[in-house]
Structure 1
Amino acid sequence: MISASPAQPRCLHLTGTVGAGKTTTAYAVGDLLRARDVSHAVIDLDELHRLWPAPAGDPFKQQVELANLRAVAANYRTAGATYLVLAGVVVRDRHRYEDALGEPVRLCRLRAPLSVVTARLTDRHEPGEERDWHIRRAPELDGLLDNAASADLTIDVGDETPEQVAARVLAATGFAD
């Protein structure tokens, strides 16, 4: 089993606009780490704030997400996960995730052409209000991510397979080497 060196971040956080491939890539990174016999856990941050309605004062449910992340990450660490792979949007509040984890993260943005993002969102969501919201939100969020420039690195993706993107992410970040 491979373990982390002291200087290397043990948390890889994939960010990007809705439909950029964060969760799909995170699962593919997990598959590659498993093939390398690297102890890890994959956390889809969307699942940590899946509740309705949103709490008052927390419209994007980030406080709920961070509280759940703190608990889930601690449980995974206790169970033996050396590395964590997170998938979720981070614009300017990286420090809040690092605080919740109690350690630094390597933040990697996945950037896909908006035409690819729109096609993915159209395939993922049934026609209606939710799909329309995601399609409107994608370019807005992409612009916020451009302006924030908070990622350690950005990987441009397009029609590659999740496995190809995951391999590029691991090669570019040096994560879990």
Structure 2
Amino acid sequence: MTRRPTGPAEALLIGGRAGVGKTTVGWEVSAQLRAAGVAHAVIEGDFMGQVHPAPPGDPHRAGVTERNLRAVWGNYAELGHRRLVYTNTVSVLAESAGLFEGALGADVRLVRVLLTATDETTAGRLERREIGSELGRELENSVHKARLLDERAPADTVRVATDDRAVTDIAREIVAATGWLTEG
């Protein structure tokens, strides 16, 4: 039986540098929640702002990202969903809270998880993943974002190392941090 929560929306924000495993872990979190009968929706945040060129007056695509998130979440909420698993590099930063409050409601409960990994681990993962022209840019950006996230993630952010760990174990730790298995 699937348990549907009542009350304000809740969002599990899975952030981290490129190559840390956000998407893979997000899907495993979803699999574990499904197995436990916990109703939820999953959004890969990187796709919410993928438009080129950037809209006029929105160089970082924050406005289009919020509109798309609001539209997609609105569809899920109409179906009765109150819990969201959202993966995106910088989603855990404090300045991203407004995005989720605007799309999911001012009373949304945010659970921030920052996935971490060494430069060597992420470089190896990116080298296996990036088969087009983006590898150099992704490697450089990954190092930059790791430092930014480490410095600016709020104090309540749960940090989870992904080096040399099974994705199922990482996801289990994250699911436990949500409290969703023990709540109604």
Deviation per CA, 1:44-63: give whole Å up to 9, x if none: 01111222222244344222
1:145 maps to 149
Within 5 Å, give how 1:127-138 maps onto structure 2. Answer: 128=133, 130-138=134-142
Query: RMSD across aligned C-alpha pairs, in angstroms?
Result: 2.0
Is the contact between residue 4 and residue 10 of structure 1 (CA under 8 Å) also seen in structure 2? no
Is the contact between residue 12 and residue 85 of structure 1 (CA under 8 Å) also seen in structure 2? yes
2:104 maps to 101
Tell me which stretches of 4 or more aligned residues in structure 1 moved more than 6 Å.
none
1:82 maps to 82
Q: Is residue 124 from structure 1 mapped to residue 129 from structure 2 by the alignment?
A: yes
Distance 1:159 1:58, change over 3 A: farther
Q: Which amino acid aligns with 1:101?
A: L
Whole-angstrom CA distance in 1 between matches of 2:68 and 2:138: 24
1:27 maps to 27
Q: Offset of 1:82 from its aligned partner?
A: 3.0
Deviation per CA, 1:114-139: give whole Å up to 9, x if none: 211111111111253x1111100111
Distance 1:115 1:30, change over 3 A: same
Q: Is residue 172 from structure 1 mapped to residue 173 from structure 2 by the alignment?
A: no
Count residues with an aligned counterpart.
175
- SS of the counterpart of 2:41? strand
- SS of the counterpart of 2:51? coil
Note the residue ranges of structure 1 that are not aligned, 5 or more in a row: none
2:4 maps to 3
Is the contact between residue 43 and residue 86 of structure 1 (CA under 8 Å) also seen in structure 2? yes
Please give the TM-score of this superposition, normalised by the length of structure 2. Answer: 0.85
Whole-angstrom CA distance in 1 between matches of 2:95 and 2:39: 27
